[in-house]
Amino acid sequence: MKNISTNELEQVLQDDKTIQLIDVRETDEYAGGHIRQAKNLPLSELAERTNELDADRPLHVICLSGGRSMNASMYLEQAGFDVTNVDGGMMSWQGDVSK
């Protein structure tokens, strides 16, 4: 599985409009502040909502600190997705946050 820093993610989001950014925090956490491009897909719902993802586009997965996104990334990689985990999660994110 690939890993990138939040600084690298910020650059990827500017340069590559084809990636999918998945925020696997729970809905209330996501509502408290998230990256604008991120789709909320809580880890607790991931297995039953995987069909909402485009298997032909790369996935980047983020959470609060990196633990849940690592678990989600491993699951999605086993399901055949091209996945990159975002190390440090939202705790490390320095860019803009939407609510």
C-alpha dihedral (27, 28, 34, 36), degrees to nearest 10: 60
Name the DSSP letter for residue 46. Answer: H
Q: Is 46 a catalytic residue?
A: no
Phi/psi for 79 (5° steps) reads -85, 0
Are 44 and 68 in contact by the 8 Å Cβ rule? The answer is no
Q: Write down the catalytic residue from 22, 63, 64, 90.
A: 63
Active site residues: 63
